[in-house]
Structure 1
Amino acid sequence: MAWNEPGGNGKNHDPWSGGGDKNTGGGNRNSGGGGGGNNNQGPPDLDEALQKLQDRLNGLFGGNKGGSGSGASGSTGGSGGSFKLLGIVAILALVVWAGMGFYTVDQQERGVVLRLGKFHTVVNPGLQWNPPLVDDVNLVNVTRVRIHDHRALMLTEDENIVDVDISVQYIAENPEFFTLRVRSPEDSLAQAAESALRQVVGSSDLNSILTEGRQIMAVSVQERLQRHMDTYETGIRIAGVNVRNAQAPTQVQDAFDDVIKAREDEQRSINEAQAYANSVVPEARGIAQRMLEEASAYREEVVARSNGETQRFLALLTEYRAAPDVLRERLYIDTMQAVMSNNPKVLMDLENGGNNVMFLPLDKLMDQRGSGTTTRSSTGSAEMNLRQLNDQITEQARNRQAGNLREGR
């Protein structure tokens, strides 16, 4: 029958109470003491569910103080189970927390450990453990070469504008400084690179930057940039600076190309002139040295000849004082020999007082002899012919002289 049927007790026939009194049977069911009343089960009451939740909370935080004896004993048993569950949950949470602390550091990396936001240590490669939520680990690659490119228009020392493009290669050598000392090491590097480059370019002229001064400029920029990085404590080591391009602005590039070409032509002309000078000057110096040697030899010859003539004159003077006639005749003969040896004409003095003078064309004979005698055999034959001709002429002269003598008799 319905719970609100007229003439009946509605409370005893409540379909949601399970056949018993809500305050007694339900309470006993909640406290673990069994249950009474009707066995007809229905949907749980909202008040009953709230009462169960309250009992469990009371068990967790000290038990049910307002219940009966049987209810108190049931609450004590529920509190013990809750503590066991809480311990298991705590152990699982601890295991999960400890497992979250394991991590691996690669061979190329270093780990910067922050404990509660403060630097603690730097860990090396390998398997590491740090307490989670307490330590914070920042991994930094200390071997990778990073590259920063910078390009800008700059003013040189001679008040010219040049477009310079450089590439900076750097390494995070100190992971602690790289992570903690500077907020943004890359930005600091970019600003320091521009400052160092402008300082070096501003102290150099345009010609050296565009031609042979690039390597010197790169070395100077690297040294200055490394000093800036050490001063800022960025932990960065500059591996190298490369000047990829250095040229005049695009608007005046053609004019600069003409200037460079003119300088190259000038240098080529200088090199050609230097090469010509190197070929002519040594020859001229050799000729001058030869002339000096010849003049010195001539001087020595003249001096030696003069000294010899002096010694010869003094020796002849001594002999002349001893035998004047003999020396006079000797000097006459030597003088005539010296004079006649250079004369192409020959005068022959015949014997027995003859007045005939015979002329021999020795100059033509000598010319004929000199024109065709280049070898030794031809020279010997010419001398032989001349000797035979001389003997024939002498024989004819003697015969003629003998004939004249006979006619005179």
Structure 2
Amino acid sequence: MSNENDASMAGRRPGGLRHLLQQISQMANSPWGNGPKDGDDGGKGSGGDGKRPGPRNPWVTPDPADQRRGAKPRGPSALDELLRKGRGGFGGGSGGSGGQFNLGDSAKFWKWIVLALVVAWVVFSSFHIVPPEKEGVVTRLGSYSRTVGPGVKFTWPAPIERIRMEDVRAIRTMPVGSPNATDENFVLTRDQSIVDLAYEVRWSVRDPELFFFQLADPEGTIREVAESSMRATVANFDLVQAIGPGRVEIEAQVQQRMQELLDQYRAGVLIQGIAIRQVDPPSQVDEAFKEVTAARQERESAINLARAYEQQVLERARGDTSAFDQIYAQYELSPEVTRKRLYYETMETVLSNVDKTIVEARGVTPYLPLNEVQKRLKAPEAAQKGGE
């Protein structure tokens, strides 16, 4: 008896739960139909499980009593279909296989995703566009493989092969020292003087393979080589040459020394040129050095003036000598005529700038000083203009 009572109670419990769910679903504004009316039996008519037509309540399972009376069971609700499709899309859900997961469609979906990722990885890591001004260094598993020129290039996908591009046409500038007084670069000259040098090194990459793999710090090496070459070169010039006329020669020698050292290091670098920006003495003796420089310039100016006067006198003497030789040749041909000509030319030169009065013998018309008359006429006009 006790077993039969327990079974009957267990059979009633689901019915009470269904009745409660039907009441909740048949409240006002319910999405599955209107609320219950007077005389209805728990909402069977409006829930889709009774006599009256209406949408089926997705929260209510079919009543076993209705099924025993021959009622035709309805299919799953729209909500059940939606949940089932969602579980199937993620590889879940249960069916006639006893609740096992259905991974067929999901596996195909993930295969396409993986294939697309592999294709994108191969395309983006295998095809490279090298610009015209650059060259590409290809490494295979970290070691050098080859150098490629401009254009579209193909490599094995990363990380098997990688490409590193470098601009081989750009001219780069490296300043050494600074024109500012706070950053001094002292260099010793041949006459034991000290100068503050500021210069620039212009260089470019000649061989990308050597530039990448031969030196650990290429730019640092270039700077150290530039400083060493400059000190070795300036040590062969005195102070005056380093400051003024020897700059061009110093730049050429430093460029040559740097290129030789970098070629020995196999740096793959080409030195384009050296440009000296500043050559000054130390700031502590700058004023005294300027005075010494001014005195040297004055000395050079005086020496240049003396040399110019020397050249002028020499040229005049050479001209007089040539003229005398010509006159002597004429004198040999006609001594009397040449003697009178020399007398007249000499008197003309002597008397041309002095006031003179010429007295002639009797019977000769006196000399009319037209030049003196013209001078006296012009004198008042010049004085009047000067007063205005």
Mean Cα deviation higher: 283-292 or 142-151: 283-292
User: Which residue of 276, 279, 294 corresponds with 2:309?
Assistant: 276
Question: Any residues of structure 2 matched to 1:323-342 within 5 Å, and which?
Answer: none
Return closer, same or farther for 1:296/1:105 CA change in 2, 3 Å cut-off: closer
Q: Does 1:113 align with 2:138?
A: yes
TM-superposed deviation, 1:136: 1.5
Match of 2:165 among 135, 139, 143: 139
2:266 equivalent among 222, 233, 237: 233
Distance 1:288 1:125 in 2: 75
Alignment counterpart, residue 242 of structure 1, candidates 248, 267, 275: 275
**Partner in structure 1 of residue 120 of structure 2:** 96
Query: How far apart, CA to CA, are the structure 1 residues paired with 2:206 and 2:194?
Result: 36
- Secondary structure at the residue paired with 1:120? strand
What do the CA deviations read for 1:18-44 (whole angstroms, capped 9, x no partner)? xxxxxxxxxxxxxxxxxxxx999xxxx
Q: Which amino acid aligns with 1:205?
A: D
Q: Deviations over 1:294-336 (max 9, x none)?
A: 899999999xxxxxxxxxxxxxxxxxxxxxxxxxxxxxxxxxx
Aligned twin of 2:223: 190
Partner of residue 260 from structure 1, selected from 290, 293, 318? 293
The 8 Å contact of residues 112 and 123 in structure 1, kept in 2 or not, is answered as: yes
**Residues 185 and 289 of structure 1: CA distance in aligned 2, closer, same or farther (over 3 Å):** same
SS at match of 2:173: strand
Distance 1:273 1:374, change over 3 A: farther
For 1:98, give the aligned amino acid: V
Counterpart of 1:181 (choices 191, 214, 217) is 214
What amino acid maps onto 1:144 in structure 2? A
Q: How many residues align?
A: 252
Measured after TM superposition, the shift of residue 125 of structure 1 is 2.2
| 1:155 aligned residue | 188
Unaligned runs of 5+ in 2: 15-61, 65-90, 92-96, 178-184, 336-358, 367-388
Q: Distance in 2 between matches of 1:109 and 1:261?
A: 51
Cα distance, 1:178–1:295 mapped onto 2, change above 3 Å: same
Which stretch of the first structure deviates more once superposed, 85-94 or 256-265? Answer: 85-94
CA–CA distance in structure 2, aligned partners of residues 118 and 374 of structure 1 = 123
Helix, strand or coil: the match of 2:314? helix
Cα-to-partner distance string for 1:101-155 (whole Å, 9 max, x where unaligned): 2332222221111011111112222333321211111111112221100021110
- 1:206 aligns to what? 239
Task: Give the letter aligned to residue 361 of structure 2.
Answer: G
Q: Per the alignment, do residues 271 and 226 of structure 1 end up closer, same or farther by CA in structure 2, a change over 3 Å counting?
A: same
Distance 1:175 1:238 in 2: 15
Q: Contact conserved, 1:219 with 1:241, CA < 8 A, in 2? A: yes
Counterpart-to-counterpart distance in 1, 2:213 and 2:311: 66
- Structure 2 distance, partners of 1:188, 1:373, is 105
1: distance between equivalents of 2:115 and 2:63? Answer: 42
Tell whether the 8 Å contact from 1:148 to 1:169 is kept in structure 2 after alignment: yes
Percent of residue pairs bearing the same amino acid type: 29
Q: Choose from 360, 364, 372 the match for 2:361.
A: 372
Amino acid at match of 1:112: V
For the Cα contact (< 8 Å) 1:100–1:132, is it kept in 2?
Answer: no
User: Could you tell me how far 1:204 is from its partner in structure 2?
Assistant: 1.0
Gaps of 5+ in 1: 1-5, 16-37, 41-55, 57-69, 303-369, 379-409
TM-score of the superposition, structure 2-length normalised? 0.55
Change in CA separation of 1:79 and 1:161 when aligned onto 2, cut-off 3 Å:
same
**8 Å Cα contact 1:147-1:169 kept in structure 2:** yes
SS in 2 for 1:203: coil
Letter in 2 for 1:140: E
Pair 1:251-2:284 in alignment = yes
Code of the aligned partner of 2:146: T
Give the C-alpha shift of residue 82 in structure 1. Answer: 8.5
Distance 1:85 1:219, change over 3 A: same
| Cα displacement (A) at 1:290 | 6.9
Q: 1:115 to 1:300 in 2, by over 3 A?
A: same
The within-5 A match list for 1:119-130 is 119-130=144-155
Partner Cα separation in structure 2 for residue 91 and residue 295 of structure 1 = 114
Normalized per residue, the structure richer in helix is 1
CA displacement 1:63-120 (0-9 Å, x = unmatched): xxxxxxx99xx99x97987975675455334212212223322222211110111111
Worse-matched range after superposition: 77-86 or 246-255: 77-86
In 1, Cα distance between equivalents of 2:257 and 2:280: 22
Shift of 1:373: 7.3
Q: Distance in 2 between matches of 1:113 and 1:292?
A: 85
Distance 1:118 1:85 in 2: 39
What letter is aligned with 1:276? Y
Q: Highest Rg: 1 or 2?
A: 1
Provide, for residues 341-374 of structure 1, a one-character-per-residue CA deviation record: whole Å limited to 9, x for no partner: xxxxxxxxxxxxxxxxxxxxxxxxxxxxx95279
* Residues 82 and 207 of structure 1, relative CA distance in 2, 3 Å threshold: same
Structure-2 change in CA distance of 1:282 and 1:78 (3 Å): same
Letter of the 2:131 partner, please give it.
D
1:243 Cα deviation from its structure 2 partner: 0.6
Deviation, structure 1 residue 226: 1.3
